[in-house]
């Protein structure tokens, strides 16, 4: 068994009386794609928010490469190599694609508290921003203002901004949500490409994508872990079909 | 985000030449008035760094203008030979400290709470000077001697000479403009502008945004202190009104009127407002009404202020010769 890059221990998050995350203990292996499934409101985004420092857990611990990062703030999490994308598109709408990625790329500097030389002379930042745009197929749109792009392209930019920080662990919150089938295909290919080098924690409703990408799948219901296993185990699990896959078909119908 | 295009640079150079030539043609009264406007412009430019570039709407920025002015008047009240550079350094570092404390406490909040906190701090400073008989109370305080601007043993600028002071202030205005353009082009500026657009996302990309906001607040406060210092050295007289909410409000108005987020916009806004205040009373006693109407008109019809109008005009002029594929980083 390979190295555990991220580990949660009895992680809980309560919103008032609601247990949005209920005693989650999971191991995420380096180099693998770990998908998290669950019906709407299962607490998937909340879990990502805990891992990325956006929310502080009510109890429990988070360990990244053995270090306790339970109380770390989002900027710290990003700096140690964990990137995230948001379910609700969260970009700088008035900026060009390049500028959006630039901010992510500039975090390769020790600090951006630099006041004298123009930023545009920073070669490494250029390289990172260009690379992220290219990976997401946005190179031709680099000077287009983000707000004027199609919804699918904005979703791609959302991923590109995260990639510009060159994380080793990627937290992806429904990267395919709302995309057309062609775009969705492209992004699935991109995720496959990324999975070769990096570790992915992927929340996604698109079953085809999940089953084709994931090495491990965890199914969540009402904030708690229902079952974790490989693709075949989850596909054939009675409990999962009752709790989730069944739901999904009802929803679709 | 506004980028400074070539036509804008040409426009700014023309303005600069006009300012350079003005004392040759303008009467002493107007030379003095423009000197005052340029000092106020330094103040409003610094506010633009907060409002237009960092997304911090400070309603107490005049506090730093007043603190800068008072520090000069208090610390050097009866000093016979005030060394300009020494008094400037002392005043600015102390104003910077004040901005650090007030900023440190204020930037934890955002939106309306930030506005209220900065206003409350400024009013505290106002009442401190207003009610302290030691510092002149509501009458204000006089500075007995003007600072002496020496370079070695030679006098560089004679503060009693209105033309000298005019050019001296103009040099400061250009210096502040260039300084702020520099930091805005540097990595620091990129982060600031992004914070204004979407602070949460910038945080998630690895930036401790409160630190950036605080540094921006301190820079802006220090530059406001510089403006206060220049004003006190100019008039040799400081009153508590310098710190009042009225001054802060006027400054916000000048920034918005001129066009926030452009650096040169606030300078235009300051010129327009002060010159209107000077001209309008000559026409009618209801000039404040007209002034209000003009401001409402600009806000309604020029959402990006006068600078926005200049941008769209120059864009139209240069659209034929537009450089294709220009990158705006
Ligand atoms: N900030 C919050 N305050 C209060 N309740 C919250 C908050 N964020 C989430 N919740 C609640 O926690 C539960 C889990 O929400 P979460 O967004 O994590 O679900 P999800 O699995 O991501 O759902 P979806 O598939 O719709 O994205 C929901 O019932 C939601 O209403
Ligand atoms: Mg969600």
Q: Give the pLDDT confidence of A147-177 residue by residue, as tens digits.
A: 999 999 999 999 999 999 999 999 999 999 8
Q: Angle CA(A98)–CA(A99)–CA(A100) in degrees, nearest 5?
A: 90
Please determine, for residue B2, whether its predicted confidence score (pLDDT) is greater than 60.
Answer: no
Predicted pLDDT at B120: 97
Predicted pLDDT at A28: 96
Closest residue by Cα to atom 12, ligand 1, is A20
For range A31-57, the mean pLDDT: 95
Pairwise CA distance, residues A112 & B215, whole Å = 12
Q: Ligand 2 centroid to A53 CA: how many Å? A: 16
- Distances in whole angstroms, Cα of residue B132 to Cα of each of B139, B240, B244: 10, 10, 15
Record: contact A90-B194, CB cut-off 8 A: no
Tokens 């409402």 map to which residue? B296
Pairwise CA distance, residues B193 & A95, whole Å = 10
Q: Ligand 2 centroid to A77 CA: how many Å? A: 20
pLDDT band at B176 (very low <50, low <70, confident <90, very high): very high
For range B122-138, the mean pLDDT: 91
Highest mean pLDDT among B9-13, B129-133, B210-214 belongs to B210-214
pLDDT band at A245 (very low <50, low <70, confident <90, very high): low
Nearest by CB to residue B205, choosing from A99, A117, A161, is A161
Please determine, for residue A252, whether its predicted confidence score (pLDDT) is greater than 60.
Answer: no
Predicted pLDDT at B319: 65
**Residue B260: CA atoms inside 13 Å, Cβ hemisphere, count?**
23
Record: contact A116-B187, CB cut-off 8 A: no
Q: Phi first, then psi: what are they for A64, rounded to 5°? A: -115, 115
Find all residues with CB under 8 Å of B194, minimum gap 6, and list them: A92, A95, A99, A103, B201, B202
Nearest by CB to residue A74, choosing from B182, B204, B329, is B204
Q: Ligand 2 centroid to A92 CA: how many Å? A: 21
**Cβ-based interface (< 8 Å): residues of A facing B:** 52, 54, 73-75, 78-79, 84, 86, 90-96, 98-99, 102-104, 106-107, 109, 112-120, 122, 142-143, 161-162, 164-165
**Closest chain B residue to A111, measured at CA:** B207
Nearest by CB to residue B215, choosing from A75, A107, A113, is A113
Q: Which of A69-78, B183-192, B251-260, B319-328 has the lowest mean pLDDT?
A: B319-328
For range A29-54, the mean pLDDT: 95
To the nearest 10 degrees (0 to 180), the angle between helices B264-283 and B6-25 is 40
Instruction: Give me chain A's average pLDDT, please.
Output: 92
Please determine, for residue B324, whether its predicted confidence score (pLDDT) is greater than 80.
Answer: no
3-class SS shares of chain B: helix, strand, coil, % to 5: 75, 5, 20
For range B221-244, the mean pLDDT: 95
The pair of structure tokens assigned to B156 is 């560089």
Pairwise CA distance, residues A107 & A84, whole Å = 14
Mapping DSSP to helix (H, G, I), strand (E, B) and coil, where does residue A57 land?
coil
What percent of chain B shows pLDDT beyond 70?
96
Instruction: Give me chain B's average pLDDT, please.
Output: 91
Closest CA to A169 of A204, A195, A192: A195
Please determine, for residue B326, whether its predicted confidence score (pLDDT) is greater than 50.
Answer: no
Pairwise CA distance, residues A38 & B255, whole Å = 50
- List residues near ligand 1 (CB under 6 A): A 15, 18, 20, 38, 40-46, 87
Predicted pLDDT at A250: 47
Mapping DSSP to helix (H, G, I), strand (E, B) and coil, where does residue B203 land?
helix
For range B313-329, the mean pLDDT: 59
**Chain pair A-B, CB pairs under 8 angstroms:** 107
Closest residue by Cα to atom 4, ligand 1, is A15
Tokens 């805990």 map to which residue? A50
Atom of ligand 1 nearest to the CA of A39: 25
Q: Which of A13, A21, A43 has most ligand 1 atoms within 8 Å of CB, for mutation?
A: A43
**How does pLDDT run across B239-259, given as a tens digit for each residue?**
999 999 999 999 999 999 999
Domain with CATH 3.40.50.300 in chain A: 1-25+39-81+170-180+195-227
Nearest by CB to residue A103, choosing from B183, B186, B202, is B202
pLDDT band at B322 (very low <50, low <70, confident <90, very high): very low
Q: Which residues of B touch A142 (CB under 8 A)?
A: 327
Query: Residue A50 in contact with residue A43, Cβ under 8 Å?
Result: no
Q: Angle CA(B6)–CA(B9)–CA(B13) in degrees, nearest 5?
A: 145
**How does pLDDT run across B164-174, given as a tens digit for each residue?**
999 999 999 99
pLDDT band at B67 (very low <50, low <70, confident <90, very high): very high
Each residue of A55-66: b (16+ CB within 10 Å) or e?
bebeebebbbee
> In terms of DSSP H, where are the helices of B244-304?
245-258, 264-283, 287-301
Q: Phi first, then psi: what are they for B73, rounded to 5°? A: -70, -35
Predicted pLDDT at A208: 85
Pairwise CA distance, residues A22 & A43, whole Å = 9
Pairwise CA distance, residues A47 & B143, whole Å = 62
Please determine, for residue A248, whether its predicted confidence score (pLDDT) is greater than 60.
Answer: no
Closest approach of B329 to chain A, Cα-based (Å): 6
Q: Which of A13, A16, A18 has most ligand 1 atoms within 8 Å of CB, for mutation?
A: A18
Tokens 């030679």 map to which residue? B154
Q: Ligand 1 centroid to A230 CA: how many Å? A: 26
Record: contact A90-B198, CB cut-off 8 A: yes
Record: contact B186-A115, CB cut-off 8 A: yes
Closest approach of B197 to chain A, Cα-based (Å): 6
Record: contact B207-A115, CB cut-off 8 A: no
To the nearest 10 degrees (0 to 180), the angle between helices B245-258 and B62-75 is 130
DSSP assignment of B83-129:
EHHHHHHHHHHHHHHHHHHHHHHHTTS-THHHHHHHHHHHHHHHHHH
Give me the interface pTM, i.e. the ipTM. 0.91
Pairwise CA distance, residues A46 & A55, whole Å = 8
Pairwise CA distance, residues A29 & A119, whole Å = 37
pLDDT band at B107 (very low <50, low <70, confident <90, very high): very high
Record: contact A98-B329, CB cut-off 8 A: yes
Mapping DSSP to helix (H, G, I), strand (E, B) and coil, where does residue B329 land?
coil
Task: Write out the H or E segment, with its range, that includes residue A67.
Answer: strand A67-68
Residue B80: alpha-carbon gap to chain centroid: 30
Q: Which of A19, A46, A86 has most ligand 1 atoms within 8 Å of CB, for mutation?
A: A46
Atom of ligand 1 nearest to the CA of A49: 18
Please determine, for residue B158, whether its predicted confidence score (pLDDT) is greater than 90.
Answer: no
Query: Residue A32 in contact with residue A213, Cβ under 8 Å?
Result: no
Pairwise CA distance, residues B178 & B189, whole Å = 13
Q: Which residues of A touch B325 (CB under 8 A)?
A: 143
Closest CA to A108 of A168, A166, A160, A157: A166
Query: Residue B246 in contact with residue B143, Cβ under 8 Å?
Result: no
Q: Which residues of B touch A147 (CB under 8 A)?
A: none
Find all residues with CB under 8 Å of B93, minimum gap 6, and list them: none
Is 3.30.70.100 the CATH number for A1-25+39-81+170-180+195-227?
A: no
Q: Ligand 2 centroid to A99 CA: how many Å? A: 27
């Amino acid at each position: 068994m390979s190295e555990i890059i991220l580990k949660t221990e009895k992680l809980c998050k309560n919103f008032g009386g609601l247990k949005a995350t209920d005693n989650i203990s999971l191991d995420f292996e380096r180099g693998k794609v770990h998908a998290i499934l669950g019906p709407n409101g299962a607490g998937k985004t909340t879990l990502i928010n805990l891992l990325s420092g956006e929310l502080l857990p009510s109890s429990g611990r988070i360990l990244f490469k053995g270090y306790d990062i339970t109380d770390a703030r989002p900027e710290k999490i990003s700096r140690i190599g964990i990137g995230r994308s948001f379910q609700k598109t969260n970009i700088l709408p008035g900026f060009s694609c390049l500028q959006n990625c630039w901010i992510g790329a500039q975090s390769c500097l020790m600090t951006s508290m630099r006041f004298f030389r123009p930023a545009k002379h920073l070669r490494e930042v250029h390289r990172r921003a260009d690379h992220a745009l290219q990976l997401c197929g946005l190179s031709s749109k680099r000077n287009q203002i983000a707000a004027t792009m199609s919804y699918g392209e904005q979703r791609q930019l959302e991923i590109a901004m995260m990639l510009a920080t060159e994380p080793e662990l990627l937290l992806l919150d429904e990267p395919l949500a709302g995309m057309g089938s062609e775009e969705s295909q492209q992004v699935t290919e991109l995720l496959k490409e990324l999975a070769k080098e990096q570790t992915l924690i992927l929340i996604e409703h698109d079953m085809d994508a999940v089953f084709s990408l994931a090495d491990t799948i965890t199914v969540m219901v009402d904030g708690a872990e229902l079952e974790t296993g490989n693709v075949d185990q989850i596909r054939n699990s009675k409990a999962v079909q009752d709790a989730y896959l069944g739901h999904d078909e009802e929803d679709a119908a | 985000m506004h980028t400074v295009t070539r036509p804008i640079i040409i426009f700014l150079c023309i303005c600069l030449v006009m300012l350079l030539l003005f004392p040759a043609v303008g009467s002493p009264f107007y030379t003095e008035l423009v000197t005052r406007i340029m000092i106020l412009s330094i103040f409003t430019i610094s506010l633009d760094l907060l409002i237009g570039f960092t997304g911090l709407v400070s309603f107490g920025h005049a506090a730093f203008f007043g603190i800068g002015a008072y520090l000069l008047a208090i610390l050097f009240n009866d000093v016979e030979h005030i060394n300009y550079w020494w008094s400037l350094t002392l005043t600015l570092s102390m104003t910077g400290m004040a901005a650090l404390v007030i900023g440190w406490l204020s930037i934890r909040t955002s939106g309306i709470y930030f506005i209220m906190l900065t206003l409350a701090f400024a009013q505290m400073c106002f009442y401190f000077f207003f009610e302290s008989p030691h510092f002149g109370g509501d009458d204000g305080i006089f500075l007995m001697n003007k600072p002496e601007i020496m370079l070695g043993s030679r006098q560089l600028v004679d503060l009693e000479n209105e033309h000298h002071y005019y050019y001296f202030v103009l040099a400061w205005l250009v210096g502040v403009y260039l300084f702020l353009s520099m930091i805005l082009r540097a990595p620091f500026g990129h982060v600031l502008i992004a914070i204004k657009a979407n602070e949460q996302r910038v945080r998630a990309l690895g930036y401790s945004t409160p630190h950036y906001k605080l540094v921006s607040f301190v820079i802006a406060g220090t530059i406001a202190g510089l403006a206060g210092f220049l004003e006190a050295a100019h008039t040799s007289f400081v009153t508590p009104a310098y710190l009042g909410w009225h001054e802060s409000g006027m400054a916000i108005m000048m920034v918005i009127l001129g066009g926030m987020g452009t650096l040169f916009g606030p300078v235009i806004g300051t010129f327009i407002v002060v010159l209107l205040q000077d001209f309008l009373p000559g026409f009618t006693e209801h000039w404040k009404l007209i002034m209000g109407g003009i401001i409402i008109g600009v806000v309604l019809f020029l959402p990006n202020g006068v600078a926005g109008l200049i941008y769209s005009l120059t864009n139209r002029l240069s659209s034929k010769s537009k450089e294709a594929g220009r990158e705006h980083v």
